[in-house]
Structure 1
Amino acid sequence: MHDLINDFAKLVAGEFCNTLDDAKGLKLAKKTRHLSYVRAKHGNLKEFEGTYERKVLRTFLLMEQSWELDQNENGAIHDLLPTLTRLRVLSLYQYSYLPDSIGNLKHLRYLNLFKASLKNLHAIIHALYNLQTLILRECKDLVELPNSIGKLKHLQHLDLSATSIRKLPNCVIGLCNLETLILRQCKDLTVLPTNMASLMNLHHLDTRETNLKEMPLQMVNLKNLLDIQ
């Protein structure tokens, strides 16, 4: 989460932001643009006052916590997401699922689903056509990516480290602006698509602690690949 906090700090510089926890209560200032929530044992996201009307929110961060979200809180986020239509940055730590309404967030640039309980990434992900960063780190149940991920033409950074994916779909060729691909500790990954050689903007590739047998031969043609591990 360290990189996320740094990115968030840069993002909110000079703008209105708010951090909510149980001690501070759950009422938002009218000019809040960036919101982070730290949940204590008896937190209740359904008590956010004014959040549903705060369509000006640019950032929503569900921060790392000691207590897992209960069913009601997951439901509250499910209801909240489609109202945040101007959101640019979304982080849902240990979230359980992505609703169809995630496709409404057309302006989203940064999506962090660190440790989310996802077996499959929702096919509606292709609707987030402005997405630049997608973090799925330590989503232990994630075994595959949808073919629709290839439609994320603006995606620059994809972190799949410590997931259970078995292969990358051939449609990754569509990620024409991808610069960073992190596959570290993907223990079930044994092969890469041969068409990965078409990712001409790829700069950094991390395959440490995987079970890859070999790299596609054509990858020697990736002239912009600066760092491979």
Structure 2
Amino acid sequence: MLISNKVQRDLFSRLTCLRMLTFGDCGLSELADEIGNLKLLRYLELAENKITSLPDTICTLYNLQTLLLERCDELTELPSNFSKLINLRHLELPLGLKKMPKNIGKLNNLHTLNYFIVEEQNGSGIKELANMNNLHGTIKITGLGNVIDHVDAAKANLKDK
């Protein structure tokens, strides 16, 4: 089923009290800016879609606790203000992601994070994981060759996660 941008705009403008939204594997190629109207949304599944980018307005969903983006193979980057989603507890990212959002370490309520990229430049170093003390389960970390300082790696405190 294909959900057009027009249908999304209409839905997101009318159903502002939604708390859970599942658009998994429904042929989405884009998500309407009006997603930001769903201020009470706690659970958003967009898995297995062809979304190439997320609108910046997704970063205004302050009550969002679960965001599922796995197998969104066209999605290579997250919005720059992604760290504003401070109530996020479960984040499933596509493995095709090219870089982590800046200040992802501010998401210290995360319990599950399936994927993390250690970048070469400033942005997302291994120490971003330091304050994510609630993390547990399996996390795939790529770019470990970019860890220059063993002190940063120790600060990530991976053994206790």
Q: Same fold (TM over 0.5)?
A: yes
Q: Does 1:84 align with 2:7?
A: no
Identity, % of aligned positions: 38
- Larger of the two Rg values belongs to structure: 1
Q: Secondary structure at the match of 2:51?
A: coil
**Among residues 93, 108, 121, which one is paired with 1:176 in the alignment?**
108
Describe the shift of the 1:126–1:211 C-alpha distance in structure 2 as closer, same or farther (beyond 3 A).
closer
Looking at structure 2, the residues matched to 190 and 198 of structure 1 have their Cα atoms a distance apart, in angstroms, of: 16
In structure 2, what is the equivalent of residue 109 of structure 1? Answer: 42
Aligned residue for 2:22, secondary structure, equals strand
**Shift of the alpha carbon at 1:173?**
1.6
1: distance between equivalents of 2:118 and 2:107? 21
Higher RCO (CA-CA < 8 Å; seq separation 6+): 2
Distance change in 2, residues 1:176/1:121 (3 Å): same
Q: Which moved more, 1:116-125 or 1:131-140?
A: 116-125
* 1:167 correspondence with 2:99: yes
Residue type matched to 1:96 in 2? S
Is the contact between residue 169 and residue 193 of structure 1 (CA under 8 Å) also seen in structure 2?
A: no
The TM-score, its normalising length taken from structure 1, stands at 0.58
Provide the alpha-carbon RMSD of the alignment.
2.4
SS in 1 for 2:144: coil
Question: What is the Cα deviation at residue 85 of structure 1?
Answer: 0.9
The residue identity in structure 1 corresponding to 2:50 is: S
Residues of 2 paired with 1:190 and 1:174: CA distance? 16
Question: 3-state SS of the aligned residue for 2:81?
Answer: helix
3-state SS of the aligned residue for 1:198?
A: coil
Structure 1 gaps, min length 5: 1-67
Letter in structure 1 aligned against 2:21: L
Return the alpha-carbon distance in structure 1 between the equivalents of residues 55 and 20 of structure 2: 18
Aligned-pair CA distance for 1:221: 2.5
Instruction: Give the structure 2 partner of residue 134 of structure 1.
Output: 67
Q: State the shift of 1:138 in Å.
A: 0.7
Q: Distance between the aligned counterparts of 2:137 and 2:75, measured in 1?
A: 22
Indicate whether 1:218 and 2:154 are aligned: yes
In structure 2, runs of 5+ residues without a counterpart are none
Cα contact 1:200–1:222 (8 A) shared by 2: no
How far apart are the structure 1 equivalents of 2:129 and 2:156? Answer: 11
Question: Over residues 37-66 of structure 1, what are the superposed CA-to-partner deviations in whole Å (9 max), with x where a residue is unaligned?
Answer: xxxxxxxxxxxxxxxxxxxxxxxxxxxxxx
